[in-house]
A and B are shown apart, each in its own frame.
Chain A
Amino acid sequence: MSLTAKDKSIVKAFWGKASSKADDIGAEAFGRMLTVYPQTKTYFASWSDLSPGSAAVKKHGRTIMGGIAEAVGHIDDLTGGLASLSELHAFKLRVDPANFKILAHNLIVVLALFFPADFTPEVHMAVDKFFQNVAWALSEKYR
């Protein structure tokens, strides 16, 4: 389900509003994922504090949102733009790509929570498609 021109402009416009809260969104979505989908904690077994609101969770939320910002910036060529991130996830982190969907779901929950008026069904669909395409680009190098 590739992104239409309309999808891209909706995503960019919504990101314009949401990016001011990027740190909060990242921390909240990542923390929720660890709580609601505890199997995702297996990737962070070496961390001492996985509680929501911990410094490590907040920091990693920022890292994730940096990646999302990069994706928005490369929305016309996600595969090319996210190539090095894909290599990182494929060869170093070895995150099962099923987890991209799980994180995307939690990002969408948090976006709806923070921006109830702006997160219309049309925005929801464009953002959902965008995250699907980001997940696809991130899994490009896996095999």
Chain B
Amino acid sequence: MVAWTDAERKAIQDIWGKLKPAAGQKLFTIARIPCLIVYPWTQRYFSSFGSLSDAAAIKSNKKVAAHGEVVLKGLGLAVKNMDNIKATYAPLSVLHSEKLHVDPDNFRLLGDCFTIVVAAHLGRAFTADIQAAWQKFVAVVIAALAKQYH
């Protein structure tokens, strides 16, 4: 079980408050876009999404935007269940392993991209302590998503 300090809980809830609802979806879409551009090999999982041929195509792709919402809902589950992320994510982990066949290293790449987007969005409010709490949260989410792989 992960131990969260009060300061860490507050930091995560504050960031989540600033991200949702409509702003959050847009933000996650924005996070998805850098990931597909900065780490182009992540496009391998989205061959059904139509054109991802260059940055402009990715930015205007409606399926990418819609997928942002799906992933954001998943992240919201972790925010609501911070004391039980591993169990909450068990079915999601099985999905990513057995059905989607996603290499778990991709979770780290998307997590890093999202951290950078949050930093750009919050500016100086994204202090070192808040970054530490956020990255701890992302690490727990990533571990939970990778847990059911075998």
Contacts and interface: CB of A to CB of B under 8 A. Distances in A.
Contacts, number: 48
Interface in A49-91: 52
Interface size class of B (residues with CB under 8 A): 20 to 34
B42 interface: no
B88 interface: no
A16 interface: no
10 contacts: A31-B128, A32-B131, A35-B129, A109-B131, A112-B117, A112-B120, A113-B120, A116-B120, A122-B37, A125-B38
Interface of A: 31-32, 35-36, 52, 105, 108-110, 112-113, 116, 119, 121-122, 124-125, 128
Interface of B: 33-34, 37-38, 55, 112, 115-117, 119-124, 126, 128-129, 131-132, 135
B119 A124 contact: no
B128 A52 contact: yes
B34 A121 contact: yes
Contact of B119 (A31, A35, A52, A113): A113
Contacts of B126: 109, 113
Name, among B119, B123, B131, B135, the residue most crowded by chain A CB atoms within 10 Å (CB to CB).
B119
Given A32-B131, A35-B132, A36-B132, 17 more contacts: A32-B128, A35-B129, A36-B128, A36-B131, A36-B135, A52-B128, A105-B112, A112-B116, A112-B119, A112-B120, A113-B120, A113-B123, A113-B126, A116-B120, A116-B121, A124-B34, A124-B38
A31 B131 CA distance: 12
Given A32-B128, A109-B115, A109-B131, A116 B123 contact: yes
A94 B116 CA distance: 29
A128 B38 contact: yes
A113 B55 CA distance: 21
Nearest to A122: B55
A128 B38 CA distance: 8
Contacts of B121: 116
